[in-house]
Structure 1
Amino acid sequence: MSSSSLFRRFAGATSRAAGKPTTFIVAVLIVVLWAATGPLFQFGDTWQLVINTSTTIITFLMVFLIQNTQNRDSAAVQIKLDELIRSSRAHNALLALEELDDETLARIRAHYCRLAEKGRSELDNVEEALAAEPED
């Protein structure tokens, strides 16, 4: 098994585990346990350093693992969307849209915002017409 495959599986499993309620409860219990030991260590610098260092290291490592998982999920969703666009009557020019520069994306977004506004105004007209019709 390749190292990238092993990392992918580890990152996915860690990401899934980190999102579970049980993991959150364990983290809260660890913080409560740490806080409860404060009087035992006279709330000293070392006592504070333990939680600060632990949370910093865990956060630092989790950022990379979760980012890896999100990148893969995002790429998979993008491929699925591209396939839906390709197989529908939508514009094939929208395939791989994420590769375009910001200015082009802004122009395309403005175009679709205008289409949406037009659609909403048409919907308003339909709603007004329905409201004006006498009920049976």
Structure 2
Amino acid sequence: MKFAQFCQQLSKASGNAKTFMVAVVLIVIWAATGPFFHYNDTWQLIINTSTTIITFLMVFLIQNTQNRDNDILHIKIDELLRATKEAQNGALDLDDLDAKQLRTIRKEYKSMGANESIAVTESTTTLEDDPKADGGQR
């Protein structure tokens, strides 16, 4: 089994409600055994060590699944851009730009969208030209 497949399966399992309930039960059992062990250092060390190890491993698991999901989204968006005739194909290769260049492009797109607004009702959502954006001349 590949690492990516392992991470995907483990991520799905760890995000499950049953897994959460198992964790809660384990913590309740640990807390309930406190008086039996007189809340000693070993009793505290068990929960501290367990949670530290699990957290450490989950960081790598979560990062792997986020990277994979991010790559998938980029590929899907790239395909939509490539297939849309009006789209700027230059947007397909933004990965090498620095933060300042990306902010500049983002400002350009924001100014393009400034002339439109979104009308939202319970049944429909439509884009409309914003009459205030061009001085009310329509």
TM-score for both structures, normalised by structure 1: 0.83
Shift of residue 7, structure 1, vs aligned partner: 1.3
Q: 1:114 aligns with which of 92, 111, 115?
A: 111
Fraction of identical pairs, as percent:
52
**Structure 2: runs of 5 or more not aligned:** 119-127, 133-138
Equivalent position SS for 2:116: helix
- In the TM superposition, what whole-angstrom CA distance separates every residue of 1:43-65 from its partner, at most 9, and x where no partner exists? 11111110010000001001101
Equivalent position SS for 2:39: coil
- In the TM superposition, what whole-angstrom CA distance separates every residue of 1:83-128 from its partner, at most 9, and x where no partner exists? 10011021001103233110110000111111122213964439xx
Question: Does 2:70 align with 1:74?
Answer: yes
Q: Write the letter of the residue equivalent to 2:5.
A: R
Greater relative contact order (Cα 8 A, min sep 6): structure 1 or 2? 1
Question: Does 2:32 align with 1:8?
Answer: no
Q: What is the total number of aligned residue pairs between the two structures?
A: 122
Q: 1:104 aligns with which of 91, 101, 105?
A: 101
Equivalent position SS for 1:41: coil
Shift of residue 70, structure 1, vs aligned partner: 1.2
Q: 2:38 aligns with which of 34, 39, 42?
A: 42
Q: Structure 2: how far apart are the matches of 1:102 and 1:113?
A: 16
Higher helix share: 1
TM-score for both structures, normalised by structure 2: 0.82
Q: Does the Cα contact within 8 Å between 2:115 and 2:130 map onto a contact in 1?
A: no
Q: Root-mean-square deviation (CA), in Å?
A: 1.8
Q: Structure 2: how far apart are the matches of 1:117 and 1:110?
A: 10
Higher strand share: 2
Q: Structure 2: how far apart are the matches of 1:23 and 1:34?
A: 17
> Where do 4+ consecutive residues of structure 1 move more than 3 Å?
121-124
Q: 2:79 aligns with which of 83, 91, 94?
A: 83
Q: Structure 2: how far apart are the matches of 1:11 and 1:92?
A: 33
